[in-house]
Amino acid sequence: MSSIIFYLTLPLLYLISLLPFPIFYLLSDCIYLLLYRIIGYRKKVVYENLKNSFPNKSHNELKLIEKKFYRYLCDLFLETLKTLTISKDEAVRRCAFNENTKHIFKELYDQKKSCILVMGHYGNWEWAGNSFSLLNPQQLYVIYHPLSNKHFDKLMYNMRSRFGTKLYAMKDTMREMVRNRQEINATAFIADQTPSPEGAYWTTFLNQDTPVFWGTEKIAQKFNYPVVYVTVNRIKRGYYEVNTEYLVIDPKNTKEGEISELHTRKLEKDIISNPELWLWSHRRWKYKRK
């Protein structure tokens, strides 16, 4: 049954991907009305997350952020589909790396240093991965969760790897990084996913007790790879700029929790600045600190 659904859906996905951008975003506006106004997809989760994260904001302020988030969520969904057919030139034009970012990755490559990239579900992380592989000399690896549907999983894998990016299944991360240790590369960690509460690093994030994966910190320390924080800012609809900064140059000399705390604070600052660009529909706080 899943195979039938996939092959019936696939032509439609490609058709949407091929739409000119003005029509493409008009479709996004229509999906917003359906998703937010009619279906109400995860509205309770989104509002609860916003209310707990911004306790000083009024109901009207929270509802405005909520509406902006749903509009952006629809754009993000369709922009992800656009990676099926977008050209290399268009990909780089729509998700550019500023000069400081290019300098950081060139500097690391010239020093023959691999690095760890840490970011959140903020802005268009999918387009950022495509542009990285087109603009920078390092081989990019992205850690991902395989989808349960093997057909859609393969489709997403192909979309993300079109321009040279390679993927690690999360469970294979350490083994694959050891295997590729002789290569100059960059490994991207999406650090705002929800780990099991047992053994997680706990901190306060957006006014709430929040578990954070130890993986980013522990792997950075093990390999002593510089940690680079990545922000994907939206300049205007359909256009992004990738900004980076060194978070930690020498991870082996950091204290326990230091790297986790640093990247959590950076992401928190980004979210407060432009809250609609973060993935509020994610059940980030489903666990409580014991």
Q: Residue 288 falls within a domain, yes or no?
A: no
Better-scored residue on pLDDT, 259 or 5: 259
Query: Is residue 158 domain-resident?
Result: yes
pLDDT given at position 42 = 97
Query: Residue 107 domain-assigned?
Result: yes
**Could you tell me the pLDDT band of residue 4, with boundaries at 50, 70 and 90?**
confident
Mean pLDDT of the chain: 96
What is the domain extent for residue 13? 2-277
Token pair, residue 197, equals 């509460």
Give the per-residue pLDDT at 80. Answer: 97
Cα-based torsion angle of the residue sequence 189, 190, 192, 194 in order, rounded to the nearest 10 degrees: -80
Within a domain: residue 286?
no
Strands 239-248 and 95-97: parallel
Written as one letter, the residue type at 130 is: N
Residue 230 lies in a domain: yes
| Residue 51 falls inside a structural domain | yes
Residue 222 lies in a domain: yes
User: Residue 256: its pLDDT value, please?
Assistant: 96
Q: How far out from the chain centre does Cα 117 lie?
A: 11
Report how many domains make up the chain.
1
Model confidence over 102-147: pLDDT tens digits? 999 999 999 999 999 999 999 999 999 999 999 999 999 999 988 8
Is residue 79 one of the residues assigned to a domain? yes
